[in-house]
Amino acid sequence: MHRIKIPFLRRSGVFILFLFLVISSTLAHAKTLHYRLHPIWTRSFTPQIVDLNGDGTDELVIVHGSQIDVQDWKLRYFYHSFKIDLTVPFNIRAIPGASLDSVTFFLTFRKADTIFVKFLPPTRLTRGKAIPESLLQDFYFFVRSPKTLPSNFYQSIGYLGNYQNNHGHRNWLFRFNTAWDKWGKRGLLAATIHPPKILWHYFSGPQIFHVVLDDLNGDGNKEIILSSYAPANGVKGRDTRDNKSYIFVLNSEGKEIWKRSLGTYWTGSYATVG
């Protein structure tokens, strides 16, 4: 009987045995894994860090478009994109709430010739469940002017910051803006958010894009310093037009202290304090 030689299998067996010994030795001497890199989000967002569920530990609130993601400190989702029962597209954002470690959501959406702005404090329904439109709190709205074409109707509103006024009450600042609609509105408003209430408006021609809060005159109260851009869309506000950029200074109650025009159309005037 002739023996059948299989040198390839012998060499393979030796290699597999060697590989097994190397892996076993590596695992035996491997150090404990202390950390791991996690993919958090795939686009650029500004997360908010708050204790959203009241357990004493902060969570990450990540907002993009109509989706809210909340992750715990181990970067695990514990609820993802809670649903709001609206039949129209909407945009939702998270802003600081009434207390130091809290958050409030605010939504904007359009129905016919009106753009609505609503607030939504966190509830048990914001943990992955459906929220009826009836739970949204009225805050603000914009109505299309009869002189504005429906295709040109555009209004946006965004959170700028919050401050304590002369009476010790905390106010939230929002800027509102239009684009090509010369009959639209631009400016700044101050409000409380629990409950939602508009305290004052300041209308402007140019776009407000930045705010600084500082005590300019040394009276112990902070003034509101606004930077603006002049897009030259024909928008008017108070005694300004958007063919010039301005620095505006208001007191904490929204009264104008002074303003300066620093540039012509397509320029931005930016204020810093220090």
Higher pLDDT, 3 or 229: 229
Q: Are residues 163 and 236 in the same domain?
A: yes
Q: Is the peptide bond before 150 cis (omega within 30 degrees of 0)?
A: no
- How much of the chain is helix, strand and coil, in % rounded to 5? 10, 45, 45
Task: List, for residues 70-121, the tens digit of each pLDDT value.
Answer: 777 676 665 556 778 888 988 888 888 876 567 788 899 999 999 999 998 8
Contacts of 2 (CB under 8 A, 6+ apart): none
Higher pLDDT, 150 or 84: 150
Q: Are residues 59 and 71 in the same domain?
A: yes
Task: List, for residues 181-219, the tens digit of each pLDDT value.
Answer: 999 999 999 999 888 999 999 999 999 999 999 999 888
Q: Is the pLDDT of residue 33 over 80?
A: no
Q: Where are the beta strands (DSSP E) in 45-145?
A: 48-50, 59-64, 67-71, 77-80, 83-85, 90-96, 103-111, 114-120, 130-132, 137-143
Q: By C-alpha distance, which of 145, 149, 54, 48 is closest to 104? A: 48
Question: Considering the chain, what percentage of its residues have pLDDT values greater than 70?
Answer: 74
Q: Are residues 151 and 112 in the same domain?
A: no
What is d(CA 176, CA 206) in angstroms, rounded to the nearest whole number? 11
**Per-residue pLDDT at 121:** 83
Instruction: For 16-62, give the secondary structure using H, E and C.
Output: HHHHHHHHHHHHHHCCCCCCCCCCCCCCCCCCEEECCCCCCCCEEEE
pLDDT band at 6 (very low <50, low <70, confident <90, very high): very low
Q: Is the pLDDT of residue 274 over 60?
A: yes
Give the three-class secondary structure for 15. Answer: helix
The kind and range of the H/E element at 162 are strand 155-164
Q: Are residues 138 and 168 in the same domain?
A: no
Q: What is the total count of domains within the chain? A: 2
**Per-residue pLDDT at 8:** 47
Q: Do residues 206 and 242 lie in contact, with contact meaning Cβ atoms separated by under 8 Å?
A: yes
Asked, for residue 32, whether it belongs to a domain, the answer is: no
Q: Are residues 170 and 139 in the same domain?
A: no
Higher pLDDT, 250 or 74: 250
Higher pLDDT, 112 or 20: 112
What is d(CA 135, CA 127) in angstroms, rounded to the nearest whole number? 15
**Per-residue pLDDT at 208:** 96
**Per-residue pLDDT at 37:** 46
Q: Are residues 113 and 195 in the same domain?
A: no
As beta bridge partners, residue 220 has none
Q: Are residues 273 and 160 in the same domain?
A: yes
Asked, for residue 19, whether it belongs to a domain, the answer is: no
Asked, for residue 28, whether it belongs to a domain, the answer is: no
Higher pLDDT, 214 or 5: 214
What's the full length of the chain, in residues? 274
Asked, for residue 6, whether it belongs to a domain, the answer is: no
Residue that terminates a domain, selected from 122, 143, 164: 143
What is d(CA 111, CA 180) in angstroms, rounded to the nearest whole number? 20
Q: By C-alpha distance, which of 112, 93, 214, 229 is closest to 163? A: 214
Mean pLDDT of all residues belonging to the chain: 81
Q: Are residues 133 and 165 in the same domain?
A: no
Farthest-apart Cα atoms in the chain, separation: 111
Asked, for residue 135, whether it belongs to a domain, the answer is: yes
Asked, for residue 265, whether it belongs to a domain, the answer is: yes
- Bridging pattern class, strands 170-178 and 187-193: antiparallel
Interior/surface letters 227-253, b for 16+ CB within 10 angstroms, e for the rest: bbbbbebebebeebbbbbbbbbbbbbe
Average pLDDT over residues 245-261: 95
pLDDT band at 34 (very low <50, low <70, confident <90, very high): very low
Question: Considering the chain, what percentage of its residues have pLDDT values greater than 90?
Answer: 46
Asked, for residue 24, whether it belongs to a domain, the answer is: no
Q: Are residues 205 and 108 in the same domain?
A: no
Q: Is the pLDDT of residue 4 over 60?
A: no
What is d(CA 227, CA 208) in angstroms, rounded to the nearest whole number? 6
Average pLDDT over residues 134-161: 94
Residue that terminates a domain, selected from 108, 143, 178: 143
Task: List, for residues 45-61, the tens digit of each pLDDT value.
Answer: 667 777 766 677 877 77
**Per-residue pLDDT at 123:** 76
Name the residue range of residue 120's domain: 38-143
Higher pLDDT, 39 or 262: 262
Q: Are residues 103 and 154 in the same domain?
A: no
Predicted model pTM? 0.74
Q: Are residues 266 and 173 in the same domain?
A: yes
What is d(CA 181, CA 83) in angstroms, rounded to the nearest whole number? 32
**Per-residue pLDDT at 19:** 61
Residue that terminates a domain, selected from 143, 176, 208: 143
Asked, for residue 206, whether it belongs to a domain, the answer is: yes
Q: Are residues 158 and 270 in the same domain?
A: yes
